[in-house]
Amino acid sequence: MALLPSCFPVLHTFVLVQDCSGAGPSEVQLYTPLKDMKCLRSLRIDSECRRLDYDRLRQLFATFPLEDLYFWVANLPVDDLPCPRPIDAPQLQSLESKGSVVDMTALLSHLHAPALTAFEFEDGSFELTPDHMLHLCTVVSTRFPRTLKSLSLALQTPSKTELRVNAVVNLIRDILHPVLNMKQLERLSFVYLHYQVPITALMDEDIELLAQKLPNLRFLELFYDDDYIYDGWQPLTAMSLLYLAQRCPHLEELHIQVIETDLQDLVIPASAPTPANDHPLRMLAIRDLYFEDGLEENDGLKQLLDRVFPNLRATGPSPVLPKSLQVPELCSRYFVSESWERCEAAYPRNVFVCA
């Protein structure tokens, strides 16, 4: 570590990956040499045992012109939460973090990052409630209302206790609705695995509201656990696809839950909105074990897909799957056993189904 500044005086990116079970450099050995690397713009510290607190973050932003930062947020003591000094990050453009959603929400409340365009957070260490997630979304939307273009939240409750179903939460109206005010968003990913409580609802009218509020989306991913069916539950229908096609003319990738393939009970008006022939959607990922079979047996749905997403047919090499659909990520981060593969049916499309 001590030789880094002399060997790489203009180093722009530094990455530290440390397993907490092994020995690593001390705080002095790690941060003292870094102080001389004045050109450092990207710092990624992937180690649960090297969590960054408010003071360390202030030092880093005061020392380096950081534009990209990845870290584990420290478990902040309650006494430090009310009114700590602001954390000024004038050049920060991309922030990625792991830890407790409570600690991250508190930190964001004091982070001044006027250039921030991308925020990604993953929580797997705290027993979440919808209020915790709503608070995080509220803080994000109020702190970065105009600059943020990419938002990714991966939230997971522990699975150690038995499921306790006592409420149904609407994913859009009860959790994500503050984010709908951020019309400049181009990428939105919300992954919520909640093995305890509550059951999450997502309906066609929610997708309509989201599409109406966020017309500039290029990437949309809504992934949540729906293994427990409750009275009144209805899967999304093809109307959700119509809403997105009409109101999100820039959408290129769509990753959502179950889509009802049976159009028999679905009334689609003859004047249903049809997008321009150049709608850019090229990837549609459906988390549904039976979607492939339903698609093969339903010419009406095929025709509808052709109508609203004419570029969905597979042309050229398979696109790269987002992290949440890659098998290693699913197995290690979300404890999902199913794998994903490309549908190689006789009617090839950029449609991915759960195998």
Q: Which domains does the chain carry?
A: 13-17+28-353 (3.80.10)
Average pLDDT of every residue of the chain: 75
Instruction: Give CA–CA dist 218/184, Å, rounded.
Output: 11
Q: For 231-288, how does the pLDDT look when each residue is reduced to its tens digit (9 = 90+)? A: 566 778 888 988 999 899 999 999 887 777 667 666 665 555 555 557 888 888 877 6
Distance between alpha carbon 131 and the CA centroid of its chain, in Å? Answer: 18
What b/e readout covers 142-178, taking b as 16+ CB neighbours within 10 angstroms? ebbeeebbbbbbbbbbeeeeeeeeeeebbbbebbbbb
CA 191 to chain centre: 6
The string of pLDDT tens digits covering residues 47-58 is 887 888 888 899
Lowest mean pLDDT across 50-54, 101-105, 318-322: 318-322
Beta bridge partners of 71: 97
- Comparing 179 with 237, the larger pLDDT belongs to 179
44-48, 79-83, 236-240 — which is least confidently predicted? 79-83
